[in-house]
Amino acid sequence: MKQFRAMKSVCSFSLLVYLCTFSTPVSAQSDSVAFSLKKGEVLDLLFLIQKPETQALFKDYVRTAFPVGEEMSYKSLTGFRIGVNLQGNYQPQSLILAKWDNMEKRERFLTEIEDAVPDFHERRRAIWSSFCLTYYEVPSDINFAVRKGKFTVITAYWSDNERAFGRFKQEWLKEVQRAGGRVSLLMEDGKSPLGYFYQPDLLIMTEWENEESFELFHLLNLKMNHKGVKHVNQLALNY
């Protein structure tokens, strides 16, 4: 796992710069980024791969599409570079977080954006080679943080058997605790719009003291009984 620090992916720089400038997390300090969402708000998680030499297209996208979202309560939170793919077959460059006031406004944006920006989806395809979006209605007030110096991992699981997967999930969470990890965020029942499908049955953010402590869990995780698991995507954040 030592290679994690050396294996840096090229981030979608223009988007991350925009988010660092205009994002609205609860607190953004040099050692942490903290978030607070209320029950009923909607959390967006976007996994992106940006095409090269698309900065000008992105600036125009921000100018035309972002105001429409902001009128419907869209707020950029922040973005993180993805360090390395730990499990699965998907290696995005960055993870972007955003939020909306409620599900009605979030889904109204999806149905009305093309009235304001007719080539909205074409613009996205021109900028990003991969744009995977999951949005979640927050079931109760949540607070979580990403802390510098810690090893933060995003794990997404797809299920093919609800009962067996439920047992796997409980064992997985117990192993995280035994190995000294901490669950920062756990989301289920996400949605993905047509054309942007990335809809895991379970998405978990875990925090580890360092890479070595995660590696102990990782070795145990790989040996677990994966009955009920259809697919996994596990990524380390760079922060």
- C-alpha to C-alpha distances, 5 to 9, 32, 63, 96, 212, nearest whole angstrom: 10, 18, 35, 21, 12
Q: Which CATH architecture has domain 149-238?
A: 2-Layer Sandwich (3.30)
Same fold, 2-142 and 149-238: yes
- C-alpha to C-alpha distances, 228 to 37, 81, 165, 166, 167, nearest whole angstrom: 31, 30, 4, 8, 9
**Where does the pLDDT of residue 239 fall: very low under 50, low under 70, confident under 90, or very high at 90 and above?**
confident
pLDDT at 227: 97
Q: How far apart are CA 239 and CA 237, in angstroms?
A: 6
**Where does the pLDDT of residue 15 fall: very low under 50, low under 70, confident under 90, or very high at 90 and above?**
low
Q: Could you read off the pLDDT of 101-147 as tens digits, one per residue?
A: 999 999 999 999 999 999 999 999 999 999 999 999 999 999 999 99
Residue 13: pLDDT over 80: no
User: Residue 126 has which token pair?
Assistant: 């021109």
| Residues 7-11, mean pLDDT to the nearest whole number | 36
Q: Please, which residues bridge with residue 97 across strands?
A: 45, 78
DSSP three-state, residue 151? strand
Residue 20: pLDDT over 50: no
pLDDT at 12: 44
* 171: nearest Cα among 128, 137, 135, 202: 202
Any idea where the domains of the chain sit in the sequence? 2-142, 149-238
CATH number for the domain running over 2-142:
3.30.70.100
* 41: nearest Cα among 11, 73, 18: 73
Torsion of CA 75, 14, 129, 108, to 10 degrees: 20
Q: How far apart are CA 49 and CA 130, in angstroms?
A: 5
* 148: nearest Cα among 25, 14, 34: 34
Q: Could you read off the pLDDT of 31-78 as tens digits, one per residue?
A: 899 999 999 999 999 999 999 999 999 999 999 999 999 999 999 999
Report percent pLDDT > 70 for the chain. Answer: 87
- C-alpha to C-alpha distances, 49 to 55, 94, 130, nearest whole angstrom: 13, 7, 5
